[in-house]
Chain A
Amino acid sequence: MKEASRDRLKAFLTLLPSIILVAVFVYGFIGNTIWISMTDWGGTGSMALEPQKNFIGLENYVDLFNGFLSAGFRQDLVNAVYYSVMLLAGAIGLGMFIAILLDQKPKGEDVLRTIFLYPMSLSFIVSGTIWRWLLAPQGGVNVLPTYFGFDALDFQWTSSTKAILEFNWQNILQILIYIAAFILIMVGLFVLKDDPQKAVKRWLGPGVVVGAFAWLGGSLLPQALFMEEMHGFNLATLGIIIATVWQYAGYTMALYLAGFNGISQDLRDAAMLDGASNTDYYRHVAIPMLKPITISAVIILSHISLKMFDIIFAMTGPDNAQTGHPALNMYMTTFRANDFARGAAIAIVLFLVAGTFIVPYVIGQYKQRRRG
């Protein structure tokens, strides 16, 4: 008994420095940022030795989401969503595809693996500069066909000003409700086969009701802005998405390849014996078994996509609404416009968005452990 408590004390003392450091430098600073985001620290005189800070509550956040001057931030936020979705889909899809190909044990697998993994060892600022040259409108990829006697291409990879899938920020509430209804209905359809009654009661029914409400009562909903403000998927972000996918596909490939190699050969043989084709094996056996890997890839890539900064800075520069990102906006607001409070508010918004990715994962893990 005595021995045990002494061990415990030792363990506690060993951990104490890191507990204190984490408490101060992680949670303390998060708290401080939240506090700053609720002040009016900014503008002239903000760099004084003892700058004046007054508490103004959530004003900075309100301004970010429906202030007249914050259109840039809202576009950046929309961009960030597209960056995240496209990076996840691209890097995981491509990575998994390459991993499956390599899992067939082709000749020179080791060399290929190194080649595919190599981009990850570059820093974003380096690969960003390379891709900037490759995707330059009057050079790189676009002049490639001229070497074979064709006309140069005219793709505006990173400088296009066109946008697709545009929506009006004014109606953001309505759109969010639509999305909620869509998710409810999709989950309902998913559950329908196993438990029709629960599916209709819990998911499909509410989904249809919510969707109908948004459709019929859309004009009753309060509008976020007094004027139209269109945001959409800017085609100029494509160039940056290509570069990021290129950089991270190798990483997911390595994750999946490790997973595939971990599945015992017996299992594969058994599946083959049961008459499964190669496609069936991956679809029904291998990939479902690698769910934990998929989840960790999603977590890692989604937070990378939320931190994207250097690659955008290198490829399209600091002021480019078409390819902007909240992280860049935060830096510019804080250190160029000297608006520390607003910069802090943007940081907290990013922090919360990152939380929505990670918290469900953490809860899932926790539940699993309890069950197990």
Chain B
Amino acid sequence: MKQSLIKLCLVFAAVMLLAVPQVSQAKELKGDLEIFSWWAGDEGPALQALISIYKKQNPNVNVIDATVTGGSGVNAKAVLKTRMLGGEPPDSFQVHAGQELIGTWVKSDRMEDLTPLFKEQGWMDVFPEGLVKLIGTDKGIWSVPVNIHRSNVMWYIPANLKKWGVEAPKSWDDFLKIAPKLQKEGIVPLALAQNWTANHLWESVALASLGADNWDALWSGKLKFNSPEVIKAWELFGKVLQYTNKDAASLSWQQATDMVIDGRAAFNIMGDWAAGYMVTTKKMAPGKDFGWAASPDTTGEFMFLADSFGLPKGAPHRDNAIAWLKVLGSKEGSDTFNPLKGSISARKDTDLSKYNGYLQSAAKDFGKDRVVASLAHGAAANETFMGGFAQVMEMFLKTKNAKATAMACQQLADKAQIGK
């Protein structure tokens, strides 16, 4: 009995030894591909569409869809970190393009440079130059962007605004003028949800207050966080907060958007996944049932964030992963994925007829606006800063002390080595 077991083990080991080199020598792609992402729920179908394109091209690859749920990847990132530290990286993982990837994985020398892939596929010409700069460093390009979202958008219902006799504000001064009127009628002027949406609102307000040049200077370390300009931005943010709902902390962003749809609130500042929510889930027609504008004082500025996939060093199925990245960057992949996800393509040659009214307008703006990086969604600063910023935001929501908050931000920036 015992001997037969040993024999069996020996045979098994021999088979394993024989099988492993065969797999790696094969020309046709075989084996597994593990894709690590946080696209569950509403975003699941878009990911599935990409996977089915991949399956068509590489029928012999077994795709493992390792999805970890949780908004903006809060759980997925923790799982990913334990896996990477344990030396068990997935073949390709989702990450917010920009500093979130660069500050964590590139600085730790865990990613492969994708410049050869970009050159081979001709992506250097297809992706906007500004974008390529934001996802790369002087050492290389680190991820393939699959979509572009806009962060600084203000949503409203045109019919409701007409009823209340107000117009979408072009500047925060306008907003602060009409907000008390709305509040008197029992309407929340600006719907807000839990903590991260406050960060989201802050970046729109700060961009409006600082201007695009100063905003960029902030993240390159040329403008201090405790400078008078930034303190002024926090003060404006405090004023805007007076006109938000009190139960914000227990609402999801969808619930805040619902407040606008139901007519309980007038405006909401949220990324353009809100358009996807209203079109897909709420069956509303863009431009007719709901309207949008760049958030006050940011017309002509496009605050971007992007989801992207990278190639970790030591990926177990590297060839399969590269084939996956090729699908992501291709025109077909991009134009299949983005209409479903409710975002625009990062490519310049995108087929606009596949997108709805809102996305067409966003794509047009992306082509001509000044593109700046979003803080709340990982493009502007590394994870050390973002993790601390959530706490700094809580401190401000509680104390409303602009100066102390600005000082805390500067300390945090020093710690996170912003601009170094």
B223 at the A interface (CB under 8 A): no
* A43 lies within 8 A of chain B by Cβ: yes
B 67-106 contacts with A by CB, 8 A: 74, 77-78, 81-82, 84-85, 87, 103-105
- Chain B residues with CB under 8 Å of A159's CB are 246-251
Q: Cβ of B415: which chain A residues have Cβ within 8 Å of it?
A: 43, 69
A332 to B391, CA, bound (A): 10
B residues with a Cβ closer than 8 A to A are 74, 77-78, 81-82, 84-85, 87, 103-105, 107-110, 194-196, 246-251, 382-384, 386-388, 390-395, 397-398, 404, 407-408, 411-412, 415-417
**Interface residue ranges, A against B (CB under 8 Å):** 42-49, 51, 68-69, 71-72, 132, 135-138, 156, 158-159, 161, 227, 236, 316-322, 324, 331-333, 335-339
- Which of A51, A236, A337 has the largest number of chain B CB atoms within 10 A? A337
B110 and A316: CB pair below 8 A? no
Our pick among A69, A135, A317, A336 for the contact of B412 (Cβ within 8 Å) is A69
Query: A332 to B412, alpha carbons, bound, how many Å?
Result: 15
Give the residues in chain A near B194, CB-CB below 8 Å.
Answer: 316-317, 319-320
Smallest Cβ-Cβ distance to A142: which chain B residue: B247
Contact call A336/B386, Cβ cutoff below 8 A? yes
Q: Which residue of B lies closest to A236 (CB)?
A: B249
Contact A336 B411 (CB under 8 A): no
Kindly list chain A residues whose C-beta atoms are within 8 Å of the C-beta of B104: 44, 47, 338
A335 engages B105 (CB within 8 Å): no
The answer to whether A321 and B110 touch across the interface, beta carbons within 8 angstroms, is no
Cross-chain contact B249 with A68 (CB below 8 angstroms): no
From residue B254, how far is it (CB to closest CB) to chain A in Å? 13
Cβ contacts under 8 Å, B392 to chain A? 69
Contact B394 A320 (CB under 8 A): yes
Q: Are A45 and B77 neighbours in the complex by a CB distance under 8 Å? A: no
* Distance, CA A336 to CA B105, complexed state (A): 13
CA distance A45 to B104 in the complex (A): 6
Chain A positions within 8 Å of B249 at CB level? 158-159, 161, 236, 316-317, 320, 322
Interfacial chain A residues near B408, Cβ < 8 Å: 68-69
The 9 A-B pairs at the shortest CB distance, nearest first, are namely A337-B387, A321-B394, A137-B247, A319-B195, A335-B78, A72-B391, A159-B250, A48-B108, A47-B108
A42 to B, closest residue via Cβ: B384
Question: Which of A158, A227, A336 is close to B74, meaning CB atoms less than 8 Å apart?
Answer: A336
Q: Which residue of A lies closest to B385 (CB)?
A: A337
Cα of A72 to Cα of B405 in the assembled complex, Å: 13
Q: Which residues of A contact B393 (CB under 8 A)?
A: 319
**Chain B residues whose C-beta falls within 8 Å of the C-beta of A45 in the assembled complex:** 107-109
Which residue of chain A lies nearest to B401 when distances are taken between CB atoms in the complex? A227
- Chain B residues with CB under 8 A of A135: 250
Measured between beta carbons, the chain B residues less than 8 angstroms from A51 are 108
User: A316 touches which one: B82, B107, B108, B250 (CB < 8 A)?
Assistant: B250
Residue of B nearest to A157 (CB): B250
Closest to A317 in B: B194
Compute how far the CA of A49 lies from the CA of B313 in the bound complex, rounded to whole angstroms.
Answer: 11
Interface residue from B84, B384, B407, B411 paired with A339 (Cβ < 8 Å): B384
Contacts of A236 in B (CB 8 A): 249
Which residues in B have their C-beta under 8 angstroms from that of A322?
249, 398
Inter-subunit contact A49/B195 (CB<8 Å): no
Bound state CA distance, A88 and B354, in angstroms? 59
Interfacial chain A residues near B407, Cβ < 8 Å: 68
| Minimum C-beta distance from B125 to chain A (A) | 32
Residue in chain A with minimal CB distance to B407: A68
